[in-house]
């Protein structure tokens, strides 16, 4: 795998997003690699729990805007199919994290933005450094971040999802802990992986069958509509990419200018 590094130690697998030059932006290749890594640790009997983290200054900067720009340049008849394919990949990646029968802890050091925030929210727990920033800012780019909004509403509450998704304003690690997003107060960057690994180990002490059933209860029974919401949100996000607002937002981002709505 080109963009994901997998290491296993003492029954804990670490999945490292390895695209630091692009701040972990979710290209189709990275999404494919992440889904393959999830499948691999699912099948690996030595692995009882997982830590998901990243190499570089960011956890994950979200959708790859350069990929979106490339899709915008395709003939009209091909664009919608590619929008749906891209957002389907993201939705399926989040679903596979939710369905993974082994506990998974996100170790966030630096920004987790948009779809990157969704990836963290699809994990069972989040540990963050004091450098972490969380954002659901798709609207500021003329896009619809429905998957992030659905996961944020499920994990925390709809008022926070509305505030973050409608304003696009980020929150820091201290506020993230205060609203219940993190399992403990933020730590230093040097401690974030060690702390996440501690929680991953703690979550693997019980019976694997009981842990699997409990995770399924949380994500599929308590959150019985969540997977349906994620699928619908992916379709809405793909459709929104066809708008002139999305075109303006994507071009503005790539050219590092302010969009003109």
Place of tokens 């926070």: 160
**Can you tell me the distance from the alpha carbon of 224 to that of 84, in angstroms, rounded to the nearest whole number?**
24
Q: Does residue 8 contact residue 46 with C-beta atoms inside 8 Å?
A: yes
Residue 4's H or E segment, with its range, is strand 4-9
Q: pLDDT tens across 8-20, in order?
A: 999 999 999 999 9
pLDDT of residue 261: 85
All domains of the chain in start order, with CATH = 4-255 (3.90.226.10)
Q: pLDDT tens across 32-63, in order?
A: 999 999 999 999 999 999 999 999 999 999 99
Mean pLDDT of the chain: 96
State mean pLDDT over 72-90: 93
pLDDT of residue 249: 95
Q: pLDDT tens across 86-100, in order?
A: 999 999 999 999 999
Q: pLDDT tens across 141-186, in order?
A: 999 999 999 999 999 999 999 999 999 999 999 999 999 999 999 9
Sign of CA dihedral 88, 90, 94, 99: positive
The yes-or-no verdict on residue 223 having pLDDT over 90 is: no
CA distances from 131 to 92, 171, 186 (A): 28, 11, 9
State mean pLDDT over 222-234: 91
- Tokens in use for 28? 């189709």
| Portion of the chain with pLDDT greater than 70, in percent | 100
Phi/psi for 110 (5° steps) reads 105, -170
β-strand 125-128 against 104-108: which pairing, if any? parallel
The yes-or-no verdict on residue 198 having pLDDT over 90 is: yes
State mean pLDDT over 23-35: 98
Q: How is the beta sheet containing 133-135 ordered, strand by strand? A: 111-113, 133-135, 171-172
**Can you tell me the distance from the alpha carbon of 120 to that of 234, in angstroms, rounded to the nearest whole number?**
17
The yes-or-no verdict on residue 65 having pLDDT over 90 is: yes
């Amino acid at each position: 795998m080109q963009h994901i590094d997998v290491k296993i130690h003492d029954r804990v697998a670490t999945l490292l997003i390895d695209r630091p030059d692009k701040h972990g932006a979710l290209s189709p290749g990275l999404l494919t690699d992440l889904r393959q890594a999830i499948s691999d640790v699912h099948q690996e009997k030595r692995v009882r729990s997982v830590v998901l983290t990243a190499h570089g200054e960011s956890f994950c900067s979200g959708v790859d805007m350069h990929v979106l720009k490339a899709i915008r340049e395709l003939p009209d008849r091909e664009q919608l199919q590619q929008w749906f394919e891209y957002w389907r990949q993201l939705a399926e990646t989040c679903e596979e994290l939710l369905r993974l029968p082994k506990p998974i802890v996100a170790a966030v050091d630096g920004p987790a933005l948009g779809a990157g925030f969704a990836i963290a929210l699809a994990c069972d727990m989040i540990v963050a450094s004091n450098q972490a920033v969380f954002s659901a800012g798709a609207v500021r780019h003329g896009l619809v971040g429905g998957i992030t909004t659905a996961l944020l509403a499920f994990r925390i509450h709809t008022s926070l999802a509305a505030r973050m998704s409608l304003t696009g304003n980020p929150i820091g690690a201290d506020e993230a802990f205060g609203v219940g997003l993190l399992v403990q107060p933020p730590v230093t960057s040097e401690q974030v992986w060690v702390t996440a690994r501690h929680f991953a180990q703690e979550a693997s002490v019980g019976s694997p069958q009981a842990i699997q059933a409990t995770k399924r209860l949380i994500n599929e029974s308590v959150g019985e509509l969540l997977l349906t919401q994620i699928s619908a949100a992916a379709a809405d996000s793909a459709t929104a990419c066809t708008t002139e607002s999305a075109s303006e937002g994507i071009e503005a981002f790539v050219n590092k200018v302010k969009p003109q709505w």
